Amino acid sequence: MEKIVDARGLMCPQPVIKAKAALKDMSEGTLKILVDNEIAVQNVMKLGNYSGLSPSSEKKADKEFEILFHVNGEAPDLTKTQEEEACAPESRRKGLVAVLASDQMGSGNEELGRLLMKGFVYAMTQLEELPETILLYNGGAKLSVEGSQSLEDLKSLEALGVEILTCGTCLNYYELGDKLRVGSVTNMYEIVEKLAAAGTVIRP
């Protein structure tokens, strides 16, 4: 018996919750969980390990991962997995705000500037202490919309608990109001509040 859970496109903790719900009805067979990012792989694998299922994972393609749980003869023990429904451990630094006011980093060549900004956003995902909030305004609003090269990195940061806020006026100005794909819309009053309360502000 094989059961498939398609959790692609779902943010933490939904892939874990869906996998756990499927396991409750299984006493034997293979559960295949499909996800589209590394954070989901890590959290679902933790569920399998805590349940004693010796899970395995494989990257099938870009943004396509497959995790297998093998259930042999008895329902898995799910009593110790409640903590795994939380996203990755708290790693945000309180009061640290990142401001992205452009889709380019530095001045000069535009193509180079966009490449540098993509690298900057990715580098934030690798920090030991993540920002508490990322503010995107003016040209930075283009980073959180459909088609952005930084979209997946911003989604990973959001999955780790980082608050992603994009200026609504800026989205409307660039006619991107219906293209936002990560975080939520904010306004100038909230932007000022976040910056006033920030202990540290980083700007590329």
Fold topology of 92-202 = Hypothetical Protein Ychn; Chain: A, (3.40.1260)
- pLDDT reported for residue 101: 97
With a pLDDT cut of 90, the percent of the chain lying above it is 57
Residue 146 has pLDDT above 70, yes or no: yes
pLDDT for the residue 68: 94
Q: What is the mean pLDDT of the chain?
A: 88
- Report the pLDDT averaged over residues 178-185: 94
pLDDT band at 23 (very low <50, low <70, confident <90, very high): confident
Q: Is the pLDDT of residue 32 over 90?
A: yes
The rounded Cα 198 to chain-centroid distance in angstroms is 23
Question: 38 in helix, strand or coil?
Answer: helix
| Residue 44 · residue 64 · CB < 8 Å | no
Fold category of 2-85 in CATH: Translation Initiation Factor IF3 (3.30.110)
Q: Tell me what pLDDT residue 74 has.
A: 65
Confidence of residue 84 (pLDDT cuts 50, 70, 90): very low
User: Residue type for 120, please?
Assistant: F
Handedness of CA 60, 130, 9, 101 (dihedral sign): negative
From residue 3, how far is each of 11, 17, 22, 46 by CA, in Å? 21, 15, 8, 19
> Domain boundaries in the chain?
2-85, 92-202
Structure confidence at residue 77 (pLDDT): 61
| Single-letter amino acid, residue 28 | E
Separation of alpha carbons 120 and 71, rounded Å: 42
For position 61, what pLDDT does the model report? Answer: 87
